[in-house]
Amino acid sequence: MTELVLYSERGSSWWPVLWGPVFALLGFGVEALAPGSVNAAAWLLVGGVLAAAAATWVYGRRRLVSVRLTPAALVQGREELAVSRIAAVTEVGTPVGARVLGGSWTIPKGTGEVPLRLEPDEVVLAWAKDPEALSAALARLVEE
């Protein structure tokens, strides 16, 4: 049985994997229009290497920068936080040096911070591409 997901972000989609083959196809096309021979094997290799590099990047982003909120847990990257530990979502100040959820030193680029007060009076930083939506979803859960 799957648990109800209240908020989620994938971290990245898979479409950047197509960049490498598209660039290689463009290079092949330019070389085909120019006088001389066309090295199809080299362009195939370039497209494959770029696609593999992009696939590694996308896989990493999907594992480390994904967000999922269920009624039981908030999962941020590699870290899972039980919702029952969250004491407050609104009107929480952000102290200097607050721990960032997910195992990183800072919030990921392109995300906004959502400060959370945990039960033993600890403040941590959650993060999301849409911090207002995550904060609202968390507030609904915590206030119940």
Q: How far is CA 61 from CA 9, 77, 111, in A?
A: 11, 9, 13
Please state the pTM of the whole predicted model: 0.80
In the chain, domain spans:
7-64, 69-142
The confidence score (pLDDT) of residue 59 equals 95
pLDDT value at residue 104: 87
Residue 119 confidence (pLDDT): 86
Q: Mapped to the 3 state alphabet, what secondary structure does the chain carry?
A: CCCCCCEEECCCCCHHHHHHHHHHHHHHHHHHHCCCCCCHHHHHHHHHHHHHHHHHHHHHHHHHCCEEECCCEEEECCEEEEHHHEEECCCCCCCCCCEECCCCCCCCCCCEEEEEEECCCEEEEEEECCHHHHHHHHHHHHCC
Report pLDDT for 79.
94
All residue ranges of the chain with pLDDT < 50 are 1
Q: Which amino acid is at 59?
A: Y
Per-residue confidence (pLDDT) for residue 121, from 0 to 100: 85
